[in-house]
Amino acid sequence: MSHIGNEYGQRRASDEPNVITSPDKAQNHDHDDSDRSTARTESPLFSKLPAELRTLIYTELFGGRRVHLGFMTHPIRNDKVGNRRRWRHGICEEERASVPFDRVINKNQHYCLSVSRRRVLDISLLFTCRQALVEGIPVLYQSNVFFIVNTGNMRLPVDDIRSLQVKIPNHWHLVRALEIQWDVGVYDRNKATAIPHIWGRVSYEALWDALAEMPALSHLRIALFIPGLPWPGTSLTPAELRELYLGPIRRLKNLRLCEVVFPELYRPHLALHEDPSFFKCHETCQYRVSWANRPSLDVGYASALTLHPHLSTASLNAIHPDL
């Protein structure tokens, strides 16, 4: 088997296979089972190596990494197919899954999905025979950490999770480790409808409901980079804010590790003064709350007309009298 890329078996973005985001198609191809069976019995990989060593090979080829998932156009192709937005993946520059989360989210910019730096997993071995596919798919989804960055402008995090559930229904439930960075743009005109403690509580609760439907999810890290408090009309106490943002974690019954990152300016409003702060979620999980210094989020309150420029002042007062 030839490897395109570096010693980790990474491939060029232009050669990207689609099993990451459409693996069901790979399983539905019609194969000559007799020829495949003969090839397996003659291959030293399956006839001589035990399953444990094959798992190590799969992991070295396409496991144990941090993988960015992005809903985007193709970074190279500029035709009708390439301009279609779809889920694509790229290996993170902070490649190994063991790299601390704060080191990843504190990078000013990720270029993992750009044309010049994008690397994709070499999963061509999965297409050689059914046994390789059956043995390799769990390694692909269970040993990698999947990292989703959401800017909060056009799509909310819950939209991303639901979209992936639909895109890979037979394998999304295998995912064990997930990282989400939700970065609400400071000048996003819709940000008030996205922020949980203003008008976005329903979508925030829906995000945790979607995560709770992932039975294998045991490692979750989520960074909530949201413009600062206080907002007019927001009179929640620190205890109410903690319950709003951290209470839904209890819905995820299979968690073993959970970390939530807030901007540093949220610390006094949540009345969490330790760094980091630890809380018991349930018998088998203790979640961690930590802080990130994001000066760009420490901005003044945008007026209601800025948030809803298409509405008149009278209309705004009628809809949101607390403003």
Pairing of strands 119-121, 10-12: antiparallel
Cβ-in-10-Å burial (0-12, 13-18, 19+) of 223 comes to buried
Dump pLDDT digits (tens) for 113-158: 776 567 888 899 999 888 999 999 999 999 999 999 887 556 788 9
Residue 136, number of CB atoms within 10 A of its CB? 24
Q: Can you say whether the dihedral through the CA atoms of 187, 189, 191, 192 is positive or negative?
A: positive
Residue type present at position 33:
D
Query: Which residues, including other chains, have CB under 8 Å from residue 310's CB and lie 6 or more apart?
Result: none
Residue 95's pLDDT is what? 62
**Of 171, 143, 139, nearest in space to 27 by CA:** 171
- pLDDT at res. 319: 38
How high is the pLDDT of residue 196? 87
Is the pTM value of this prediction over 0.75? yes
Residue spans of the chain under pLDDT 70: 1-41, 95, 97-98, 106-111, 115-117, 152-154, 185-193, 228-234, 294-323
Helix axes 157-167, 201-212, angle to 10 degrees: 30
Phi-psi region at 116: left, alpha or beta (left = phi > 0; alpha = psi -120 to 50): alpha
Return the residue matching tokens 């799509």.
155
Q: Residue 5's pLDDT is what?
A: 32
- Is-contact 282 242, C-beta < 8 A? no
Q: How is the beta sheet containing 219-225 ordered, strand by strand?
A: 86-96, 65-72, 145-150, 177-183, 219-225, 257-263, 285-292, 277-282
Q: What is the pLDDT of residues 84-114, one digit of tens each?
A: 888 888 888 776 766 777 777 766 566 677 7
Buried b / exposed e along 294-314 (16+ C-beta atoms within 10 A): beebeeebbebeebbeeeeee
DSSP state of 296: G
Residue type (1 letter), 25:
K
